[in-house]
Amino acid sequence: DVKVTQSSRYLVKRTGEKVFLECVQDMDHENMFWYRQDPGLGLRLIYFSYDVKMKEKGDIPEGYSVSREKKERFSLILESASTSQTSMYLCASSGGQGLQPQHFGDGTRLSIL
């Protein structure tokens, strides 16, 4: 069964901390995505990557960065966490050149105190 695995289901961090969210996919997919989901706002794209070491900004990249050193792993980094970044974070992947996400992880609920 295909899988997108996010390293944590729940995470609590403090304001100003550097936070790493990890995502691994086992489908050899070229494309990987990071979304955040907030009530009333739906899913918003933060960043995506269409190849190793390649990245593109999504709709809300401010305050975030990403890293893709290996094809199967896509990391989201909050350089200096703020309370406004408290949210559900979802990772996804897709194969080929298609840029519609096919498989999602179950999300990381991040709380910044």
Partner 1 sequence: LAKTTQPISMDSYEGQEVNITCSHNNIATNDYITWYQQFPSQGPRFIIQGYKTKVTNEVASLFIPADRKSSTLSLPRVSLSDTAVYYCLVGRNSGGYQKVTFGTGTKLQVIP
Q: Which residues contribute to the site for partner 1 (CB under 8 A)?
A: 4, 35, 40-45, 48, 50, 56, 58-59, 90-92, 96-107
Nearer Cβ to partner 1 (48/64): 48
As a whole number of angstroms, the distance between CA 78 and CA 18 comes to 6
Q: How far is the CB of 16 from partner 1 (least distance, A)?
A: 28
Say how far residue 50 (Cα) sits from the centre of its chain: 13
Cα three-residue angle 26-29-33, rounded to 5 degrees: 100
Nearer Cβ to partner 1 (8/14): 8
Q: How far is the CB of 25 from partner 1 (least distance, A)?
A: 12
Nearer Cβ to partner 1 (65/80): 65
As a whole number of angstroms, the distance between CA 69 and CA 18 comes to 19
The residue count of the chain comes to 113
Under DSSP, is residue 68 helix (H, G, I), strand (E, B) or coil?
A: strand
Q: How far is the CB of 78 from partner 1 (least distance, A)?
A: 20
Nearer Cβ to partner 1 (50/72): 50
